[in-house]
Structure 1
Protein backbone atom coordinates (compact mmCIF):
# COMPACT_ATOMS: atom_id res chain seq x y z
CA UNK A 1 0.00 0.00 0.00
CA UNK A 2 1.11 3.54 -0.75
CA UNK A 3 0.90 5.67 2.40
CA UNK A 4 0.31 9.31 1.51
CA UNK A 5 0.59 12.00 4.19
CA UNK A 6 -1.87 14.77 3.35
CA UNK A 7 -0.75 17.97 5.09
CA UNK A 8 -3.83 20.16 5.50
CA UNK A 9 -2.64 23.76 5.45
CA UNK A 10 -5.55 25.66 3.94
CA UNK A 11 -6.35 27.76 7.02
CA UNK A 12 -5.76 31.49 7.18
CA UNK A 13 -5.01 31.63 10.90
CA UNK A 14 -7.46 34.38 11.84
CA UNK A 15 -7.47 33.38 15.50
CA UNK A 16 -3.72 33.92 15.66
CA UNK A 17 -4.09 37.52 14.49
CA UNK A 18 -0.88 37.35 12.47
CA UNK A 19 -0.19 38.84 9.05
CA UNK A 20 0.70 35.39 7.72
CA UNK A 21 -1.30 32.17 8.06
CA UNK A 22 -0.11 30.50 11.25
CA UNK A 23 1.45 27.55 9.40
CA UNK A 24 4.10 29.95 8.04
CA UNK A 25 5.05 31.42 11.41
CA UNK A 26 8.39 30.19 12.68
CA UNK A 27 9.47 28.09 15.61
CA UNK A 28 13.21 27.71 16.14
CA UNK A 29 13.95 29.27 12.77
CA UNK A 30 11.66 27.05 10.69
CA UNK A 31 8.05 27.54 9.66
CA UNK A 32 5.46 25.38 11.40
CA UNK A 33 4.53 23.70 8.12
CA UNK A 34 8.18 22.84 7.45
CA UNK A 35 8.42 21.11 10.83
CA UNK A 36 5.28 19.11 9.99
CA UNK A 37 6.47 18.11 6.53
CA UNK A 38 9.89 17.13 7.88
CA UNK A 39 8.39 14.61 10.31
CA UNK A 40 6.61 12.73 7.51
CA UNK A 41 9.58 13.13 5.15
CA UNK A 42 11.71 11.35 7.75
CA UNK A 43 9.35 8.41 8.33
CA UNK A 44 10.28 5.35 6.28
CA UNK A 45 6.66 4.17 6.04
CA UNK A 46 5.44 7.31 4.30
CA UNK A 47 5.57 6.95 0.52
CA UNK A 48 4.83 10.55 -0.42
CA UNK A 49 3.51 13.84 0.89
CA UNK A 50 0.68 15.93 -0.52
CA UNK A 51 0.24 19.49 0.76
CA UNK A 52 -3.10 21.27 0.47
CA UNK A 53 -2.75 25.04 0.76
CA UNK A 54 -4.62 28.25 -0.07
CA UNK A 55 -3.89 29.26 -3.65
CA UNK A 56 -2.19 32.48 -2.47
CA UNK A 57 0.55 30.50 -0.77
CA UNK A 58 1.42 27.72 -3.22
CA UNK A 59 4.64 29.50 -4.15
CA UNK A 60 5.61 29.76 -0.48
CA UNK A 61 5.23 26.00 -0.03
CA UNK A 62 7.17 25.34 -3.23
CA UNK A 63 9.99 27.49 -1.86
CA UNK A 64 10.04 25.64 1.47
CA UNK A 65 10.11 22.26 -0.29
CA UNK A 66 12.92 23.35 -2.56
CA UNK A 67 15.07 24.91 0.16
CA UNK A 68 14.55 22.03 2.62
CA UNK A 69 15.26 19.44 -0.06
CA UNK A 70 12.12 17.44 0.64
CA UNK A 71 11.93 14.51 -1.79
CA UNK A 72 8.57 13.05 -0.81
CA UNK A 73 6.43 16.12 -1.54
CA UNK A 74 4.92 15.21 -4.89
CA UNK A 75 1.74 17.29 -4.92
CA UNK A 76 0.87 20.82 -3.79
CA UNK A 77 -2.86 21.34 -4.18
CA UNK A 78 -5.20 24.27 -3.67
CA UNK A 79 -7.75 23.91 -0.90
CA UNK A 80 -11.09 25.61 -0.39
CA UNK A 81 -13.07 27.52 2.19
CA UNK A 82 -13.76 24.53 4.44
CA UNK A 83 -11.50 21.80 5.78
CA UNK A 84 -13.59 19.28 3.86
CA UNK A 85 -12.68 21.09 0.61
CA UNK A 86 -9.01 20.42 1.34
CA UNK A 87 -9.69 16.74 2.00
CA UNK A 88 -11.70 16.52 -1.21
CA UNK A 89 -8.83 18.06 -3.19
CA UNK A 90 -6.53 15.29 -1.98
CA UNK A 91 -9.13 12.59 -2.65
CA UNK A 92 -9.56 13.84 -6.22
CA UNK A 93 -5.79 13.92 -6.76
CA UNK A 94 -5.45 10.19 -6.07
CA UNK A 95 -8.57 9.03 -7.87
CA UNK A 96 -6.69 7.08 -10.53
CA UNK A 97 -4.30 5.31 -8.19
CA UNK A 98 -4.77 1.94 -6.52
CA UNK A 99 -3.88 0.67 -3.06
CA UNK A 100 -3.53 4.05 -1.41
CA UNK A 101 -3.98 5.10 2.21
CA UNK A 102 -4.56 8.79 2.92
CA UNK A 103 -3.20 10.07 6.22
CA UNK A 104 -4.67 13.50 6.95
CA UNK A 105 -2.63 15.72 9.27
CA UNK A 106 -3.05 19.32 10.41
CA UNK A 107 -0.09 21.39 9.23
CA UNK A 108 -0.20 23.24 12.56
CA UNK A 109 0.53 20.09 14.60
CA UNK A 110 4.31 20.14 14.09
CA UNK A 111 5.18 17.81 16.97
CA UNK A 112 3.49 14.57 15.96
CA UNK A 113 5.84 11.76 16.92
CA UNK A 114 7.32 8.96 14.87
CA UNK A 115 5.69 6.57 17.35
CA UNK A 116 2.22 7.93 16.54
CA UNK A 117 2.86 7.57 12.82
CA UNK A 118 4.15 4.03 13.41
CA UNK A 119 0.94 3.12 15.25
CA UNK A 120 -1.27 4.72 12.60
CA UNK A 121 0.47 2.81 9.80
CA UNK A 122 0.25 -0.46 11.73
CA UNK A 123 -3.50 0.00 12.14
CA UNK A 124 -3.90 0.88 8.46
CA UNK A 125 -2.00 -2.29 7.51
CA UNK A 126 -4.56 -4.23 9.55
CA UNK A 127 -7.35 -2.70 7.47
CA UNK A 128 -8.54 -0.25 10.08
CA UNK A 129 -9.69 3.35 9.85
CA UNK A 130 -7.74 5.36 12.40
CA UNK A 131 -8.03 8.44 14.58
CA UNK A 132 -5.47 9.77 17.04
CA UNK A 133 -6.75 10.94 20.42
CA UNK A 134 -5.84 11.26 24.09
CA UNK A 135 -8.02 10.74 27.16
CA UNK A 136 -9.69 13.86 28.51
CA UNK A 137 -8.33 14.84 31.90
CA UNK A 138 -11.06 17.43 32.39
CA UNK A 139 -14.72 16.97 33.20
CA UNK A 140 -16.81 17.94 30.17
CA UNK A 141 -20.15 19.73 30.46
CA UNK A 142 -22.80 19.31 27.78
CA UNK A 143 -24.86 22.50 27.63
CA UNK A 144 -28.39 23.20 26.48
CA UNK A 145 -29.39 26.04 24.14
CA UNK A 146 -29.39 28.60 26.98
CA UNK A 147 -25.88 27.58 28.06
CA UNK A 148 -26.87 25.73 31.20
CA UNK A 149 -25.46 22.29 32.07
CA UNK A 150 -27.61 19.58 30.54
CA UNK A 151 -25.44 16.58 31.39
CA UNK A 152 -21.97 15.50 32.48
CA UNK A 153 -20.77 12.65 30.23
CA UNK A 154 -18.60 9.99 31.90
CA UNK A 155 -14.99 11.03 31.44
CA UNK A 156 -13.88 7.44 30.81
CA UNK A 157 -15.44 7.64 27.35
CA UNK A 158 -14.21 11.12 26.40
CA UNK A 159 -11.07 11.63 24.32
CA UNK A 160 -9.53 14.77 22.82
CA UNK A 161 -8.99 14.48 19.08
CA UNK A 162 -5.63 15.02 17.45
CA UNK A 163 -4.32 14.17 14.00
CA UNK A 164 -3.43 12.23 11.88
CA UNK A 165 -6.74 10.70 10.82
CA UNK A 166 -6.15 7.91 8.34
CA UNK A 167 -8.24 5.78 5.98
CA UNK A 168 -7.93 3.57 2.98
CA UNK A 169 -8.73 5.51 -0.18
CA UNK A 170 -11.87 3.46 -0.81
CA UNK A 171 -13.36 4.26 2.60
CA UNK A 172 -12.75 8.00 2.62
CA UNK A 173 -13.83 8.36 -1.04
CA UNK A 174 -17.07 6.46 -0.41
CA UNK A 175 -17.85 8.51 2.70
CA UNK A 176 -17.39 11.83 0.89
CA UNK A 177 -19.35 10.63 -2.15
CA UNK A 178 -22.30 9.97 0.15
CA UNK A 179 -21.79 13.25 2.01
CA UNK A 180 -21.87 15.29 -1.19
CA UNK A 181 -25.26 13.81 -2.07
CA UNK A 182 -26.68 15.05 1.24
CA UNK A 183 -28.17 18.56 0.91
CA UNK A 184 -27.71 19.04 4.66
CA UNK A 185 -24.02 18.09 4.68
CA UNK A 186 -21.95 20.41 6.83
CA UNK A 187 -18.20 20.58 6.90
CA UNK A 188 -16.63 18.28 9.45
CA UNK A 189 -13.36 16.59 10.10
CA UNK A 190 -12.75 13.41 8.16
CA UNK A 191 -13.66 11.10 11.04
CA UNK A 192 -16.98 12.89 11.32
CA UNK A 193 -17.69 12.30 7.63
CA UNK A 194 -16.92 8.58 7.90
CA UNK A 195 -18.88 8.25 11.15
CA UNK A 196 -21.95 9.98 9.72
CA UNK A 197 -22.06 8.37 6.29
CA UNK A 198 -20.46 4.97 6.91
CA UNK A 199 -21.73 4.21 10.42
CA UNK A 200 -20.69 0.56 10.17
CA UNK A 201 -17.05 1.49 9.57
CA UNK A 202 -15.27 1.27 12.92
CA UNK A 203 -12.75 4.06 13.55
CA UNK A 204 -10.03 2.80 15.86
CA UNK A 205 -8.16 5.04 18.28
CA UNK A 206 -4.39 5.30 18.32
CA UNK A 207 -3.19 6.98 21.49
CA UNK A 208 -1.76 10.42 20.86
CA UNK A 209 0.60 12.51 22.92
CA UNK A 210 0.25 15.68 24.97
CA UNK A 211 3.12 17.10 22.93
CA UNK A 212 1.13 16.73 19.69
CA UNK A 213 -0.34 20.21 20.18
CA UNK A 214 -2.13 22.34 17.64
CA UNK A 215 -0.67 25.82 17.19
CA UNK A 216 -3.78 27.97 17.39
CA UNK A 217 -3.03 31.02 19.53
CA UNK A 218 0.04 33.21 19.92
CA UNK A 219 0.94 31.66 23.28
CA UNK A 220 1.17 28.27 21.57
CA UNK A 221 4.30 29.49 19.76
CA UNK A 222 6.10 29.80 23.09
CA UNK A 223 4.94 26.32 24.08
CA UNK A 224 6.23 25.01 20.76
CA UNK A 225 9.67 26.53 21.37
CA UNK A 226 9.80 24.79 24.74
CA UNK A 227 8.98 21.45 23.13
CA UNK A 228 11.98 21.76 20.81
CA UNK A 229 14.43 22.37 23.66
Structure 2
Protein backbone atom coordinates (compact mmCIF):
# COMPACT_ATOMS: atom_id res chain seq x y z
CA UNK A 1 0.00 0.00 0.00
CA UNK A 2 1.17 3.57 -0.60
CA UNK A 3 2.76 5.11 2.44
CA UNK A 4 1.94 8.52 3.74
CA UNK A 5 2.77 10.26 6.98
CA UNK A 6 2.09 13.73 8.24
CA UNK A 7 4.79 16.30 7.45
CA UNK A 8 7.03 17.31 10.28
CA UNK A 9 5.85 20.32 12.26
CA UNK A 10 6.99 23.73 11.14
CA UNK A 11 9.68 25.18 13.30
CA UNK A 12 8.57 27.69 15.86
CA UNK A 13 8.57 31.26 14.58
CA UNK A 14 9.03 30.11 10.96
CA UNK A 15 10.04 33.08 8.83
CA UNK A 16 10.20 31.36 5.44
CA UNK A 17 7.66 29.47 3.34
CA UNK A 18 7.33 25.72 3.76
CA UNK A 19 8.80 23.93 0.73
CA UNK A 20 7.75 20.46 -0.44
CA UNK A 21 9.64 18.66 -3.19
CA UNK A 22 7.73 16.14 -5.30
CA UNK A 23 9.95 13.57 -7.06
CA UNK A 24 7.90 12.31 -10.01
CA UNK A 25 8.40 8.84 -11.48
CA UNK A 26 5.01 7.94 -12.90
CA UNK A 27 6.21 6.89 -16.36
CA UNK A 28 7.52 3.49 -17.38
CA UNK A 29 10.81 4.52 -18.99
CA UNK A 30 10.25 2.28 -22.02
CA UNK A 31 13.05 3.91 -24.02
CA UNK A 32 15.60 2.20 -21.77
CA UNK A 33 14.48 -1.15 -23.20
CA UNK A 34 14.52 -3.10 -19.93
CA UNK A 35 11.88 -4.57 -17.66
CA UNK A 36 12.45 -2.12 -14.81
CA UNK A 37 11.43 1.54 -15.00
CA UNK A 38 14.53 3.61 -15.66
CA UNK A 39 14.19 5.28 -12.25
CA UNK A 40 14.99 1.94 -10.58
CA UNK A 41 18.08 1.14 -12.62
CA UNK A 42 21.37 1.19 -10.67
CA UNK A 43 23.65 4.20 -10.77
CA UNK A 44 26.90 3.81 -8.83
CA UNK A 45 25.33 1.00 -6.82
CA UNK A 46 22.14 2.84 -5.88
CA UNK A 47 18.84 3.19 -7.78
CA UNK A 48 18.57 6.34 -9.86
CA UNK A 49 15.50 7.44 -7.93
CA UNK A 50 17.37 7.14 -4.64
CA UNK A 51 19.95 9.68 -5.82
CA UNK A 52 17.17 12.12 -6.75
CA UNK A 53 15.28 11.70 -3.48
CA UNK A 54 18.46 11.98 -1.42
CA UNK A 55 19.37 15.27 -3.12
CA UNK A 56 16.16 16.90 -1.90
CA UNK A 57 16.36 15.30 1.54
CA UNK A 58 19.82 16.84 1.91
CA UNK A 59 18.80 20.30 0.63
CA UNK A 60 18.44 22.82 3.47
CA UNK A 61 15.77 24.70 1.49
CA UNK A 62 13.41 21.69 1.40
CA UNK A 63 11.19 20.78 4.35
CA UNK A 64 9.68 17.52 3.15
CA UNK A 65 9.61 15.23 0.11
CA UNK A 66 6.84 13.21 -1.53
CA UNK A 67 7.43 10.60 -4.22
CA UNK A 68 5.02 9.70 -7.02
CA UNK A 69 5.84 6.32 -8.57
CA UNK A 70 4.19 4.01 -11.10
CA UNK A 71 1.72 2.04 -8.99
CA UNK A 72 3.17 -1.46 -9.25
CA UNK A 73 6.60 -0.18 -8.15
CA UNK A 74 5.44 1.68 -5.03
CA UNK A 75 6.50 -1.19 -2.69
CA UNK A 76 9.99 -1.19 -4.23
CA UNK A 77 10.34 2.56 -3.66
CA UNK A 78 9.10 2.15 -0.10
CA UNK A 79 11.92 -0.34 0.46
CA UNK A 80 14.50 1.94 -1.19
CA UNK A 81 13.46 4.86 1.02
CA UNK A 82 13.46 2.74 4.17
CA UNK A 83 16.83 1.07 3.47
CA UNK A 84 18.46 4.42 2.71
CA UNK A 85 17.06 6.10 5.83
CA UNK A 86 15.28 8.75 3.76
CA UNK A 87 11.88 8.45 5.46
CA UNK A 88 10.73 11.14 7.87
CA UNK A 89 10.65 8.58 10.67
CA UNK A 90 14.31 7.67 10.20
CA UNK A 91 15.92 11.08 9.85
CA UNK A 92 15.01 11.79 6.23
CA UNK A 93 12.29 13.94 4.75
CA UNK A 94 10.09 11.61 2.71
CA UNK A 95 6.54 11.86 4.03
CA UNK A 96 4.56 10.12 1.26
CA UNK A 97 5.04 7.59 -1.54
CA UNK A 98 2.04 7.66 -3.86
CA UNK A 99 0.92 5.80 -7.00
CA UNK A 100 1.16 8.02 -10.07
CA UNK A 101 -0.33 8.08 -13.52
CA UNK A 102 0.99 7.09 -16.91
CA UNK A 103 1.87 10.68 -17.88
CA UNK A 104 3.81 13.54 -16.34
CA UNK A 105 0.62 15.61 -16.08
CA UNK A 106 -1.18 12.83 -14.19
CA UNK A 107 1.73 12.41 -11.77
CA UNK A 108 1.96 16.17 -11.16
CA UNK A 109 -1.76 16.25 -10.45
CA UNK A 110 -1.35 13.37 -7.99
CA UNK A 111 1.24 15.39 -6.09
CA UNK A 112 -0.98 18.47 -6.17
CA UNK A 113 -3.97 16.56 -4.79
CA UNK A 114 -1.81 15.17 -1.99
CA UNK A 115 -0.68 18.65 -1.01
CA UNK A 116 -4.22 20.02 -1.16
CA UNK A 117 -5.28 17.30 1.29
CA UNK A 118 -2.44 18.18 3.64
CA UNK A 119 -2.35 21.94 4.30
CA UNK A 120 0.93 23.57 5.21
CA UNK A 121 2.97 23.70 2.02
CA UNK A 122 3.55 27.13 0.47
CA UNK A 123 5.98 26.27 -2.35
CA UNK A 124 6.33 23.07 -4.35
CA UNK A 125 9.23 21.82 -6.45
CA UNK A 126 8.43 19.22 -9.13
CA UNK A 127 11.40 17.10 -10.18
CA UNK A 128 11.97 14.25 -12.63
CA UNK A 129 13.13 11.16 -10.76
CA UNK A 130 15.31 10.41 -13.80
CA UNK A 131 17.50 13.45 -13.00
CA UNK A 132 19.67 12.01 -10.22
CA UNK A 133 22.41 14.68 -10.22
CA UNK A 134 20.44 17.79 -9.28
CA UNK A 135 22.58 20.00 -7.03
CA UNK A 136 21.80 21.87 -3.84
CA UNK A 137 22.68 25.11 -5.66
CA UNK A 138 20.07 24.49 -8.35
CA UNK A 139 17.45 23.72 -5.71
CA UNK A 140 18.37 26.87 -3.78
CA UNK A 141 18.12 29.10 -6.86
CA UNK A 142 14.73 27.67 -7.76
CA UNK A 143 13.32 28.21 -4.28
CA UNK A 144 14.80 31.70 -4.08
CA UNK A 145 13.11 32.82 -7.30
CA UNK A 146 9.70 32.04 -5.84
CA UNK A 147 10.08 34.97 -3.44
CA UNK A 148 9.57 37.20 -6.49
CA UNK A 149 7.51 35.18 -9.01
CA UNK A 150 4.85 32.49 -8.91
CA UNK A 151 6.63 29.98 -11.15
CA UNK A 152 10.21 29.18 -12.12
CA UNK A 153 11.90 26.61 -14.30
CA UNK A 154 15.53 25.50 -14.40
CA UNK A 155 17.10 25.67 -17.86
CA UNK A 156 20.43 25.79 -19.68
CA UNK A 157 21.31 27.56 -22.95
CA UNK A 158 21.10 25.51 -26.12
CA UNK A 159 24.54 24.88 -27.60
CA UNK A 160 22.97 23.40 -30.74
CA UNK A 161 21.02 25.13 -33.46
CA UNK A 162 17.35 24.12 -33.10
CA UNK A 163 15.10 24.10 -36.14
CA UNK A 164 11.34 23.92 -36.63
CA UNK A 165 10.32 21.43 -39.30
CA UNK A 166 7.33 20.60 -41.48
CA UNK A 167 6.52 17.84 -43.99
CA UNK A 168 8.64 18.28 -47.09
CA UNK A 169 7.09 18.53 -50.54
CA UNK A 170 9.23 15.62 -51.76
CA UNK A 171 8.81 13.53 -48.61
CA UNK A 172 10.57 13.52 -45.26
CA UNK A 173 10.96 16.73 -43.30
CA UNK A 174 11.96 20.21 -44.34
CA UNK A 175 13.21 23.09 -42.22
CA UNK A 176 10.48 25.66 -41.69
CA UNK A 177 12.26 28.06 -39.34
CA UNK A 178 15.56 28.54 -37.50
CA UNK A 179 14.85 30.36 -34.22
CA UNK A 180 17.75 32.44 -32.90
CA UNK A 181 19.77 30.26 -30.55
CA UNK A 182 20.21 33.10 -28.04
CA UNK A 183 16.48 32.93 -27.26
CA UNK A 184 16.39 29.15 -26.73
CA UNK A 185 16.87 27.18 -23.53
CA UNK A 186 16.76 23.47 -22.71
CA UNK A 187 14.43 22.93 -19.78
CA UNK A 188 15.42 20.79 -16.81
CA UNK A 189 13.92 20.25 -13.40
CA UNK A 190 13.10 21.11 -10.69
CA UNK A 191 10.33 23.44 -11.66
CA UNK A 192 9.08 25.50 -8.74
CA UNK A 193 5.72 27.06 -8.00
CA UNK A 194 3.80 28.89 -5.39
CA UNK A 195 1.23 26.27 -4.56
CA UNK A 196 -1.76 28.55 -5.18
CA UNK A 197 -0.44 29.39 -8.68
CA UNK A 198 0.04 25.75 -9.66
CA UNK A 199 -3.38 24.88 -8.24
CA UNK A 200 -5.13 27.56 -10.30
CA UNK A 201 -3.30 26.54 -13.47
CA UNK A 202 -4.25 22.88 -13.07
CA UNK A 203 -7.88 23.70 -12.31
CA UNK A 204 -8.07 25.42 -15.71
CA UNK A 205 -5.97 22.78 -17.47
CA UNK A 206 -8.02 19.82 -16.27
CA UNK A 207 -11.21 21.54 -17.40
CA UNK A 208 -9.78 21.78 -20.93
CA UNK A 209 -10.67 18.68 -23.00
CA UNK A 210 -7.82 19.53 -25.36
CA UNK A 211 -5.14 19.46 -22.66
CA UNK A 212 -1.81 18.13 -23.90
CA UNK A 213 1.07 18.90 -21.54
CA UNK A 214 4.40 17.36 -20.61
CA UNK A 215 5.76 20.32 -18.69
CA UNK A 216 4.35 22.04 -15.60
CA UNK A 217 5.79 25.45 -16.44
CA UNK A 218 4.03 25.05 -19.78
CA UNK A 219 0.72 24.50 -17.97
CA UNK A 220 1.16 27.76 -16.06
CA UNK A 221 2.29 29.60 -19.20
CA UNK A 222 -0.73 28.42 -21.18
CA UNK A 223 -3.49 28.78 -18.60
CA UNK A 224 -2.18 31.72 -16.55
CA UNK A 225 -0.57 33.84 -19.29
CA UNK A 226 -0.20 36.86 -17.00
CA UNK A 227 1.89 34.89 -14.52
CA UNK A 228 5.65 35.31 -15.04
CA UNK A 229 7.54 32.04 -15.36
CA UNK A 230 11.15 32.85 -14.53
CA UNK A 231 14.06 30.97 -16.07
CA UNK A 232 16.61 29.83 -13.49
CA UNK A 233 20.20 28.98 -14.36
CA UNK A 234 20.68 25.23 -14.50
CA UNK A 235 23.72 22.98 -14.78
CA UNK A 236 24.80 20.77 -17.66
CA UNK A 237 25.48 17.94 -15.20
CA UNK A 238 21.76 17.82 -14.29
CA UNK A 239 21.07 15.34 -17.08
CA UNK A 240 17.94 13.25 -17.55
CA UNK A 241 18.59 9.52 -17.84
CA UNK A 242 16.51 8.57 -20.87
CA UNK A 243 18.55 6.25 -23.08
CA UNK A 244 20.86 3.35 -22.10
CA UNK A 245 24.06 5.32 -22.67
CA UNK A 246 22.89 8.04 -20.28
CA UNK A 247 23.58 5.81 -17.28
CA UNK A 248 27.27 5.64 -18.20
CA UNK A 249 27.40 9.42 -18.66
CA UNK A 250 25.69 9.94 -15.30
CA UNK A 251 28.20 7.66 -13.59
CA UNK A 252 31.10 9.68 -14.99
CA UNK A 253 29.47 12.94 -13.88
CA UNK A 254 28.78 11.50 -10.44
CA UNK A 255 32.43 10.49 -10.00
CA UNK A 256 33.55 13.96 -11.11
CA UNK A 257 31.12 15.63 -8.73
CA UNK A 258 32.20 13.48 -5.81
CA UNK A 259 35.83 14.32 -6.65
CA UNK A 260 34.98 18.02 -6.69
CA UNK A 261 35.41 18.38 -10.44
CA UNK A 262 31.88 18.94 -11.71
CA UNK A 263 29.64 21.94 -11.10
TM-score normalised by the chain length of structure 2: 0.85
Gaps of 5+ in 1: none
Report the 3-state secondary structure (helix = DSSP H, G, I; strand = E; otherwise coil) of the residue aligned with 1:50. strand
Check the 8 A contact 1:82/1:187 in 2, yes or no: no
TM-superposed CA distance for 1:187, in Å, is 2.9
Aligned equivalent of 1:197: 223
TM-superposed CA distance for 1:99, in Å, is 4.6
TM-superposed CA distance for 1:128, in Å, is 3.6
Report the 3-state secondary structure (helix = DSSP H, G, I; strand = E; otherwise coil) of the residue aligned with 1:192. helix
Report the 3-state secondary structure (helix = DSSP H, G, I; strand = E; otherwise coil) of the residue aligned with 2:31. coil
Give the counterpart of 1:50 among 59, 66, 81.
Answer: 66
Aligned equivalent of 2:193: 167
* 2:178 aligned with 1:152: yes
Question: Residues 157 and 211 from structure 1, CA distance in 2 versus in 1: closer, same or farther, beyond 3 angstroms?
Answer: same
Check the 8 A contact 2:150/2:197 in 1, yes or no: no
Check the 8 A contact 2:166/2:175 in 1, yes or no: yes
Q: Which of structure 1's runs of 4+ aligned residues deviate more than 2 A?
A: 125-128
Q: Write out aligned runs for 1:1-229 (5 A).
A: 1-70=17-86, 71-96=92-117, 97-146=119-168, 147-229=173-255
Check the 8 A contact 1:100/1:168 in 2, yes or no: yes
TM-superposed CA distance for 1:180, in Å, is 1.2
Check the 8 A contact 2:149/2:230 in 1, yes or no: no
Gaps of 5+ in 2: 1-16, 87-91, 256-263
TM-score normalised by the chain length of structure 1: 0.97
Larger radius of gyration: 2
Report the 3-state secondary structure (helix = DSSP H, G, I; strand = E; otherwise coil) of the residue aligned with 2:146. helix
- Distance in 1, matches of 2:24 and 2:167, equals 32
Aligned pair count reads 229
TM-superposed CA distance for 1:98, in Å, is 4.0
